[in-house]
Amino acid sequence: MHSFGHRANAVATFAVTILAAMCFAASFSDQFNSPSPTASVKILNINWFQKEANGNDEVSMTLNISADLSSLFTWNTKQVFVFVAAEYETPQNALNQVSLWDGIIPSKEHAKFLIHTTNKYRFIDQGSNLKGKDFNLTMHWHIMPKTGKMFADKIVMTGYRLPEQYR
């Protein structure tokens, strides 16, 4: 006969094996989800575009951010972290990214939104590289599942240009 310790060990091992199999199945099932999110960012106004005392360019903008990220949510999604970044090239760097706004979407009910805001974080370039600069606004998201690996993707919106002169 087996002792109580042996039986408890067998039950615990079986329970952990079943739990691991369920976590694997949950994570695997997300592979069949093909999300189709939509997003739009409009620059309503450039509030100021100035050169700081230390020589860096700084921009403040008023943005309209709208998105429907509800297709990112499955039964395995805990929350979605989303942010909007300005992306541009300079002679020193092939890719510069400046985060302008971010948020956490806790549920599918909050995944469709329209936000009117100024950039939450300062849009600063080290140097005076922003005059007349073409840039993209990119909405990035990171899906945080209840179990399994995180997934990240983005939507790139092109065709933005900063003014030629400071204001």
pLDDT, tens digit, 9 for 90 and up, residues 97-154: 999 999 999 999 999 999 999 999 999 998 888 999 999 999 999 999 988 889 999 9
User: What tens digit of pLDDT does each residue of 53-111 get?
Assistant: 888 999 999 999 999 999 999 988 999 999 999 999 988 889 999 999 999 999 999 99
Q: Where are the domains of the chain?
A: 1-32, 33-161
Size (the chain), residues: 167
Residue-wise pLDDT tens digits, 25-39:
877 777 777 889 999
**pLDDT (0 to 100) of residue 96:** 93
- CB-based contacts of 24: which residues, under 8 Å, 6+ apart? none
- Calpha distance 33→56 (Å, rounded): 44
Quick one: fold of 33-161?
Immunoglobulin-like (2.60.40)
> Per-residue b/e over 99-109, b at no fewer than 16 CB within 10 Å?
ebbebebeeee
Record the pTM. Answer: 0.83
